[in-house]
Amino acid sequence: MKSKIYIDRRPLPILFLIEYRKTFLLLISFIVFFTFISSNNIPKSLTVEAYQTLVIFFFAIFLWVTNIIPLAITSLMVMGLLSSFHVLEVNKIYSFFGNKAVFFIIGSFIISAGISSSGLSERIAYYVLSRFGDTPYKLVLSIFFLSALMAHIMPEHAVAALLFPILVSVSKRLNLHSNSVLGKYMFFSLAWGSVIGGVVTFLGGARNPLAVGIMFEATGQNIGFMEWIVAIAPPVYLIMGIVALYIKRKVSASTKDTRLIENMITDNRKRMGKITFKEIKATFILIVTIYMWIFHSERFGIANIALLSAALFFVLNIMGWEDARKVIDWGPIFMYGGAIALGRSLVETGLLEFISEQYISNIDFTILSFICSIFVISLFLTEGVSNAAVIVILLPVVLQIASNFDYAPKLAVYLVAVPAGLAFMFPMSSPPNAIAFSSGYIKPSEAIKIGLIFKVISIIVFTVFALIYWPLIGVY
């Protein structure tokens, strides 16, 4: 394809500044960082270590928000800085990579790779689309529910990446124009389904185990695999229902004959052949793993189950190391190690206690205002910042606030982690959105408008569930 170029004729100094803005920002941020960290003007009630942690924390937030350097590199740098300034003991800082959340994430990446490389996920996708996609609204709803359910067991970005090429073929087969309503909602369904489905379990987004990991390091408390689902699934399923009704209403008017795709899907299914032994083995491992997570996670630990399950994919010859190596995303893993270390430093140096005494203890937080404010901040912050970064930035502080007001740490985790995953509005907010936007059917203005409505619905639904349902199941 011919590359489309254009010549930017703005003055060269401006082009220079634009091209190297990241370098300038980085340089300035380093100068500001070193100015503050070497300052002797430390508040009296703050220890040197707490002050240094504060400076490193703000520096890290700046880098995570602006994304000048990759998030994972910021995290590694944070570990280096914490260690260099002796905020915590060196061995202790690096030991945070030994957190079970990190190993759960590694295990879940391998499980996801195993399911993909066995061909099981693709077969499920073709089966669902051919079985239910005979009218426009059924097609769109099947895409929505398929992506949502797959995001329960695979990372949301992997689901979007898997279904995207299939949907592109479908849209070509139906000859959909760029302003087609059906085309638009097919890709909206992909993004929304992956995003909403991804918050229900620990597997949909690695941010959920990260949040639990940070809470464990700070309070020693844990949230089990099933416990998470029991708390989160009901409100999320209600939101899914509302979104599904909205999609159905919008697409019902479409008169496109989607039976045209039946042959294409059937052909592709036929090309895949009969179900392979690899797929059977992958299904077996997946069922056993989910069973173990639900019923035996207390005894064995979810990270151990994930690692053993990951190993089974190799033992049963479903995938090779090369397949796994390609899909293990080391970025989040590096990021989480650094994030957990930073969170721990905030607690151990007494910085959070200081902030809490100085600034938060005077605020009168009722349970309603606590739920609403934290949920809203996380929900909107995630549109501009990586959803994992939202957790790293907010959760340590929110845990401290919760502790001050005697609210359960689990409540803090749910209120930060769940909305951090609900990024509907912008392409940069989450990978599924970016993938869906690349189809060309979605206009940013529409995504912002509809996304905003879904956000308001999410706030209402979660506030009601947090006030009524969560106390019933013992969250707080």
Footprint of other proteins (CB under 8 A): 2-9, 12, 15-16, 19, 426-428, 437, 444
What b/e sequence results for 389-417 when a residue is b if at least 16 CB atoms lie within 10 Å of its CB, and e otherwise? bbbbbbbbbbbbbbbbeebbbbbbbbbbb
In the complex, the smallest distance separating the C-beta of residue 5 from other proteins, rounded to whole angstroms, is 5
Tell me the closest approach of the beta carbon of residue 6 to other proteins, in angstroms.
6
| Residue among 15 and 42 whose Cβ is closer to other proteins | 15
Q: How many CB atoms lie within 10 A of CB 207?
A: 28
In 252-386, where does DSSP find H-type helix? 260-272, 277-300, 302-315, 321-327, 330-348, 351-355, 367-384
Query: In whole angstroms, how close is the CB of 424 to other proteins at the nearest point?
Result: 15
Minimal distance, residue 12 CB to other proteins, in Å? 6
C-beta of 18: minimal distance to other proteins in Å?
8
Six token digits for residue 372: 């609403």
Measured from the CB atom, the residue of 5 and 472 that comes closer to other proteins is: 5
Shorter beta-carbon distance to other proteins: residue 12 or 460: 12
Asked if 282 contacts 276 with a C-beta cutoff of 8 angstroms, the reply is no
Find out whether 197 and 156 touch, Cβ atoms under 8 Å. Answer: yes
Cβ proximity to other proteins: between 4 and 299 the closer is 4
Burial class (CB in 10 A: 0-12, 13-18, 19+), 91: exposed
What is the C-alpha to C-alpha distance for residues 373 and 383, in angstroms, rounded to an integer?
Answer: 16
Residue 69 or 316 having the CB closest to other proteins? 69
Between 6 and 359, CB nearer to other proteins: 6
CA proximity to 458, closest of 427, 426, 420: 420
Smallest separation (angstroms) from other proteins to the CB of 112: 26
Residue 222 three-state SS:
coil
Q: What is the dihedral of CA 158, 191, 262, 273, to 10 degrees?
A: 10
Question: Cβ of residue 440: shortest distance to other proteins, in angstroms?
Answer: 11
Q: Name the minimum Å distance from CB 445 to other proteins.
A: 11
First-residue to last-residue Cα distance in the chain: 57
Q: How far apart are CA 159 and CA 198, in angstroms?
A: 9
Task: Compute the distance between CA of residue 315 and CA of residue 320 in angstroms, rounded to an integer.
Answer: 10
**Is the CB of 380 or the CB of 476 nearer to other proteins?**
380
Min CB(436)–other proteins separation in Å: 13
Rank residues 181 and 434 by Cβ distance to other proteins and give the closer one. Answer: 434
If the CB atoms of residues 15 and 467 are measured against other proteins, the closer one turns out to be 15
* Residue matched to tokens 């959340």: 101
